[in-house]
Amino acid sequence: MTGIVIFPAGRDDAFEDYKRFVRDGHPIDDIKSYFAEDELELLRTTSEDDHIHVWGTSVDGAWRNVERNDIALVYHDGGFVARGQVLHLRHDPDLAEYLWKDNVDHGRWNDKSPWEYMTFLTDVEEVDVDIEEFNALVGYDETYRPQGFTRVADKRLDQLAGEESVETAIANLTDTGERVHPVDGEDDGPTPAFVDQIQATSTDGSAHEEFEQLVAKAFSRLGYTANWIEGGGDTDVEIRSPEHIVVEVKARSNGQVNSLEVTNIDKHRRQRGADHAIVVAPGFAPKVIENAETTDLTTIAIDELVELLDRRDQYAVAPEETMDLLTRSGAFQDDRLDILDESIQARLDAGETLLAVIQALERADGPVETAEDVRWIVVGMEDSDEIPTTEEIRSALQLLAHPSIGVVTQDEDGYRVTTDYENGVQLVRSLGNIVQSSVEADDS
């Protein structure tokens, strides 16, 4: 959950620190020697002006609970004067001493209690919010006034009445920042109607927000946890699981994206702390497809996203399986769908083998001694050249005999089935929801 952090700048000297180090920032080049290369790259790619925006505290208890992407609010004189988003956390006594002892002459630096626990921010904006409004939002007493570095308890944030998310609540309170809307694609009716909507909005320049929402719902339908992020300064969709991904959504009236804003996309990925970035559009120009692999992100056209939705609907493809293909850098094209189809077919074959074994044991008069004997019963049942091998039969017997399933038992006389074929169909469906049984075919 996104948290809320409060920086107290009540005293005049603390307020001056806010203006110098949070609002205006400090030049990155002046302190670059303090950072590792990956940290420096993060600060540079997310900065609009080559400055860091940072607050320090000497109290590490609350600071250690702060997480990346938490919302920071600066308090002064009865209200909040700024908000930002946590980008990075760093414990560094040397850097703290350089920033606040060597650069500031206000006499508040204390060598015994240095401001060595630092919080770096991005997207800092000035606001004007009365403390009473905030107190009412999070359930603090109306007389509450921040006295020190604070992170609001998660249980209070869980109780934000009438809000979709912490981000949306603070955006509504401060009139700044993005609004984050969790989505549930299962509420959108039959897939054909949904597909028509997403394809239509992908080429409608006046419906970009609707297109973003539909893309978020598409990823939700694939089994992912996804949010639509309303607002132009951030990514468009954020996938939180099974992996952390940002998604940039590009509607184009001409049907294709001719260039990628790779730097901006990477900035959004870094700001969110995501592991990968995906770009969704109605289509992509050949040069974009050719160069996609070198950009360390994935491009996917709407038609391919629809194909993934179709396979999810038909075969209950696990979200991890499609995510593996979507997090490979480069263009998502037919070759990746082929990989998915091969995997689906292997699962279908495995499911059919399980059903054949159950049916063979049901037909047997008593126990069947070996996997090879079971296979010969299957040979007699099947009107097909695609008969499973003895090893495939043996693997199916081992699975069905597992204590967690228990459909097959094995003793010194051989294998026996403990259920009938119709129940076996339900069992196999529950294992993967992938098999269209002969029972269903006969009923149709």
Mean pLDDT of the 339-356 span: 84
Q: Whole-number mean pLDDT of the chain?
A: 89
Beta bridge pairs of residue 112:
none
Q: Where in the chain are all domains bearing CATH 3.10.590?
A: 4-177
* 160 torsion bin: left (phi>0), alpha (psi -120 to 50), beta (else): beta
Burial grade of 299 (CB within 10 A; 0-12, 13-18, 19 or more): buried
Check residue 442 and give its pLDDT: 41
Phi, psi of 159 (to 5 degrees): -100, 15
Q: Are the C-beta atoms of 333 and 286 separated by less than 8 Å?
A: no
What is the predicted pLDDT for the residue at 33? 96
Phi, psi of 241 (to 5 degrees): -155, 150
Retrieve residue 271's tokens. 């700001």
| Cα pseudo-dihedral 213, 214, 218, 223, rounded to 10 | 40
Residue 417 to residue 409: CA distance in whole angstroms: 6
pTM: 0.82
Rounded percentage of the chain residues whose pLDDT exceeds 70: 93
Count of beta carbons in the 10 Å neighbourhood of residue 210: 15
**What is the C-alpha to C-alpha distance for residues 168 and 231, in angstroms, rounded to an integer?**
11
Q: DSSP assignment, residue 387?
A: P
Burial zone of 382 (CB within 10 Å; 0-12 exposed, 13-18 middle, 19+ buried): middle
User: What residues does CATH 1.10.10 cover in the chain?
Assistant: 342-443
How much is the pLDDT for 197? Answer: 94
* β pairing state of 276-281 and 179-182: unpaired
Q: How far is residue 50's CA from residue 27's CA, in Å, rounded to a whole number?
A: 6
The pair of structure tokens assigned to 253 is 């009236």
Tell me the three state secondary structure of residue 403: coil
Q: Is the pLDDT of residue 161 over 60?
A: no
Could you tell me how far CA 336 lies from the centroid of its own chain? 21
Highest mean predicted confidence (pLDDT) among 192-206, 383-397, 429-443: 192-206
Quick: pLDDT tens for 121-158.
Answer: 999 999 999 999 999 999 999 999 999 999 999 999 98
Check: CATH 3.40.91.30 for 185-332? yes
- Asked if residue 280 lies in contact with residue 251, where contact means CB atoms within 8 angstroms, the answer is no
Count the neighbouring beta carbons within 10 Å of the beta carbon of residue 379.
13
Give the residue range(s) of CATH 3.40.91.30 domains in the chain. 185-332
**CATH 1.10.10 fits domain 342-443:** yes
How far apart (Å, rounded) are the C-alpha atoms in residues 206 and 185? 22
> Does the pLDDT at position 438 exceed 60?
no
CA gyration radius, the chain = 29
Amino acid at the residue 374 = V
Task: Give 40-92 pLDDT, tens digit per residue.
Answer: 999 999 998 999 999 999 989 999 999 999 999 999 999 999 999 999 999 99
Write down the pLDDT at residue 366.
87
Q: Quick one: pLDDT at residue 191? A: 73
Res. 188 pLDDT band, cuts 50 70 90: low
Edge to edge, the sheet with strand 51-57 lists 26-27, 51-57, 117-130, 79-91, 71-76, 4-8, 150-151
Res 440 pLDDT > 50 = no
Write the CATH number of the domain with boundaries 4-177: 3.10.590
- The C-alpha atoms of residue 83 and residue 37 are separated, in whole angstroms, by 27
Of 336 and 191, more confident: 336
